[in-house]
């Protein structure tokens, strides 16, 4: 059985395969645990990247707010 590569599954995930390619891939995925796992991995990586991005955005917005915050003056 021919397995799909990460690159091919990426194309599949993003709908960048031809219709025939997608149909073939979908039916392969139904039968093939290995490729389903690989696809899951890609999705997990995606979630990780999204999370990373959102925490970066959060960090950026916090960093922007910081200069506005009153500096804490140390009492002598
Ligand atoms: Zn496979």
Q: How far is the CA of 33 from the centre of ligand 1 (A)?
A: 7
Q: How far is the CA of 31 from the centre of ligand 1 (A)?
A: 8
What confidence score (pLDDT) does residue 69 get? 62
Q: What tokens appear for 71 in the block?
A: 């500096």
CA distance 32 to 5: 13
pLDDT in tens, 11-25: 999 999 999 999 999
Q: What tokens appear for 38 in the block?
A: 């690989």
Q: How far is the CA of 56 from the centre of ligand 1 (A)?
A: 35
What confidence score (pLDDT) does residue 70 get? 67
Q: How far is the CA of 73 from the centre of ligand 1 (A)?
A: 62
CA distance 33 to 57: 36
Q: Rounded mean pLDDT of the chain?
A: 91
């Amino acid at each position: 059985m021919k397995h799909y590569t990460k690159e091919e599954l990426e194309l599949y995930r993003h709908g960048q395969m031809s219709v025939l390619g997608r149909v073939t891939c979908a039916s392969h995925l139904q039968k093939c645990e290995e490729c389903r796992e690989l696809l899951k991995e890609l999705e997990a990586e995606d979630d990780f990247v999204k999370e990373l991005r959102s925490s970066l955005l959060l960090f950026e917005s916090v960093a922007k707010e910081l200069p506005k915050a009153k500096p804490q003056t140390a009492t002598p």
